[in-house]
Amino acid sequence: MPATDRSTAEAVARGRHSDPFSVLGLHDGWVTALIPDAERVWAVAGRTEVELFPVCPGVFCGAWDGGNYRLRASNPQVTWDFDDPYRFGPVLGAIDEYLIGEGTHRRLWEVLGAHVITHEGIRGVHFAVWAPSALRVSVVGGFNNHDGRRHQMRRRGVTGVWEIFVPGLQAGEAYQYEILGANGEICPLKADPVGFGAEHPPAKASLVRELGLHPWGDGAWIKDRKALNEIHAPISVYEVHAGSWRRVAEEGNRSLSYFELGRQLIDYVAEMGFTHIEFLPLTEHPFDGSWGYQPIGMYAPTIRLGRPEEFAAMVDAAHRRGIGVILDWVPGHFPTDDHGLKRFDGTALYEHADPKEGYQQDWNTLIYNFGRREVANYLEANALFWLDQYHLDGLRVDAVASMLYRDYSRKQGEWVPNVHGGRENLEAIAFLQAVNRLAYGEKPGIMTVAEESTTYPGVTRPTDKGGLGFGYKWNMGWMNDWLRYFNRDPVHRRWHHNEITFASSYTYSENFFLPISHDEVVHGKGSMIGKMPGGTLDKFANLRAFYALMWTHPGKKLLFMGQEFAQWSEWNHDDELDWALLDAPMHEGVRNLVRDLNVLYREMKALHWGDCEPAGFSWIEPDDADASVYVYERRAPGADPVVIAANLTPIERTQRIGLPEGGHWREILNTDSDYYGGANWGNLGTIQADELPAQRRPFGAEVYLPPLSVVMFAPDRAE
């Protein structure tokens, strides 16, 4: 009599047995195997061969006392030998189980997902996935004809984790999870939430990928980067959508690969003097039009541009050139695609069940249940994963405002108050604090940046002082005010003078970035040059003035690609930037200006040291609304001051301005220079400060201010 009775065998064969590992494999001297497409099956070890007898269609059983074995199966078409996945013991250990269950496994990616390992002397792939409400989980792919009966997984106690070791599989194998939900229905096939790679969309399977294949050479960079990311450092970020920066027209207008970006983009960024690149999300996503902001593969660099090791090589190339890499990270929501996290095990697992909490109506996406410890752990570990495995220097966290408030973009009655009756999402707040504690604690020298558009207090305050713990926050108020001002015809600017000065009243309330991002050049908003008023010459003069003020105002800098050379058209993710514009002197002039601003910003301590320190900035003339003139000073300990004067009307002006010291002052930058596309009006390179006080300064000088221009002065130490 076989050890497995028919009813049990039939349950296993139908994929309806709660514990297939208790039936299949070697138990009490009996081998039971499930091979649906076999007619005959043998257990084999060396010269020992025992035929197993059919218990029901697809299930075979026989006595075996020979220890480890392989299986041999045959049908009229073929005979094949293979290692039985059900003869192998568990891979996950008790500590892993405990940490997963507790929601504190910081290196979750080392135990979940698909890993090529050697287990009990055999090479293969270990799969592990969290699906606590599932009745059965199977891994499926071409290796088992996508038959969910073939590799039913082992449930690991109360953790909700399922695992299986599949001998013989290798990196590159495509796989998905077939899940029998608690309601007894099969869910849509699911990609691996901790998958390290994916097929090219629109295909939906995950791919087995090995981590750590790239030989890193950035040890010196990692050691020294803390000084390059801290608040006193010059940080100038070039924001990039990797798929549309450049394309290869002769090859079907394809995007550049990670390898190509590692040469062309890195060279360009270095030439332009930016200190960092920030990539729009490169985590795997199903829809190109989301630009990566609706990710499904949170642990996978998108295959659109290459394999994971090629992404790593691009980051390494940047570090070797002294350039930091920041990735846009999206923990605020996820898409409703059936192969993603939506009702992953047949229940609202990663998301809230109540759409008032779990559905983001603005983007037709789902919201993570940050209060569930396993979900928070999944995301916290993901943040660390990118910093650890791919040596990223920072994460810019998208849509933080939507996470902080339960009533974000909702009307009364469309949201659920917190336990205190308030609108704050206490669970999301705790999650963001945990991410920042983990990131800065585990990877000193990195930065986290919040895209947060409200007045929520303490975004960049340390968590032990009640803050969210981010390193920096995007200054959306500055961006809106300044763009509104520069969009106005200069004749009206006198009535809106405070739109420029107001930002200085709160500029040190947080550690700010000044962002001119992709959000300002899409969805009908046009381009930066297109926002400027007047004819062509005035548009360019206004844009040059805007950039000079942006680079000299307190706050780290961020500029989206294409705006550095005044691209006319709105950004289009399906095509490359309008590089041909650089043949025109006006466009090349703007790029020259941005390059020189980056050089001055990095080399002159006064222009960056006080980005987040009140001692680094003071107004000299903030009130001359009638002339639309602004004058201010940047300073730093032990460094020469820099004085910036702006004339934001199309009328040339001669003004007396205050200066902090006497003697000669060099004109270190003039946006009206013909090198930048201007008319070349200026101060002949120098001004002389006399001892007559002006504008609350002990010295003063007559200064010529060209129309719609910014001029910058520093003491001339060569005299």
pLDDT at res. 634 = 98
pLDDT at res. 88 = 96
Residue pair 287/271 in contact (Cβ under 8 Å)? The answer is no
The CA-based angle 169-173-176, given to 5 degrees, is: 105
Domain covering 6-87 in this structure, CATH number: 2.60.40.10
pTM of the full structure: 0.96
pLDDT at res. 44 = 96
How high does pLDDT run on average in the chain? 96
* Average pLDDT, integer, range 267-284: 98
Active-site residue, from 210, 451, 452, 611: 451
**Quick check: 719 pLDDT over 60?**
no
* Average pLDDT, integer, range 6-35: 94
* Average pLDDT, integer, range 287-296: 94
- Selection from 491, 478, 518 nearest residue 651 by Cα: 491
User: In whole angstroms, what is the distance from residue 526 CA to residue 607 CA?
Assistant: 30
User: In whole angstroms, what is the distance from residue 623 CA to residue 630 CA?
Assistant: 8
pLDDT at res. 2 = 55
Give counts: helices (H), strands (E), the chain. 16, 37
Q: Which two tokens stand for residue 681?
A: 């009006």
Is 388 one of the catalytic residues? no
**Domains 6-87 and 94-207 alike in fold:** yes
**Quick check: 128 pLDDT over 70?**
yes
Q: Which tens digits make up the pLDDT trace of 420-436?
A: 999 999 999 999 999 99
Residue pair 146/195 in contact (Cβ under 8 Å)? The answer is no
DSSP letter string, 176-229: EEEEE-TTS-BPPPB--TT-S-BPSTT---EE---S--S----HHHHHHTHHHH
User: Residues of the chain with pLDDT > 90: what percent?
Assistant: 97
pLDDT at res. 66 = 77
**Quick check: 206 pLDDT over 90?**
yes
Q: Which tens digits make up the pLDDT trace of 603-621?
A: 999 999 999 999 999 999 9
* Average pLDDT, integer, range 280-287: 96
Residues 6+ apart with CB under 8 A from 392: 315, 325, 326, 327, 386, 446
CB atoms within 10 A of CB 639: 17
User: In whole angstroms, what is the distance from residue 145 CA to residue 137 CA?
Assistant: 16
- Selection from 364, 374, 371 nearest residue 344 by Cα: 374
Is 451 one of the catalytic residues? yes
Q: Which tens digits make up the pLDDT trace of 575-604?
A: 999 999 999 999 999 999 999 999 999 999
- Please list, residue by residue across 388-407, b when 16 or more beta carbons sit within 10 angstroms of its beta carbon and e when fewer do: bbbbbbbbbbbbbbbbbbbb
Q: Which helix (H) or strand (E) holds 271?
A: helix 258-272
CATH pick for 615-715 out of 2.60.40.10, 2.60.40.1180, 3.40.50.2300, 3.40.50.300: 2.60.40.1180
Q: Which tens digits make up the pLDDT trace of 526-584?
A: 999 999 999 999 999 999 999 999 999 999 999 999 999 999 999 999 999 999 999 99
Q: How far is CA 480 from the centre of its chain?
A: 23
* Average pLDDT, integer, range 165-182: 97
**Quick check: 1 pLDDT over 50?**
no
Residue pair 305/242 in contact (Cβ under 8 Å)? The answer is yes
Domain covering 94-207 in this structure, CATH number: 2.60.40.10
DSSP code for 569: S
Active-site residue, from 210, 398, 499, 640: 398
Delimit the domains of the chain by residue range: 6-87, 94-207, 615-715
Q: How far is CA 492 from CA 504, 536, 577, in A?
A: 21, 19, 33
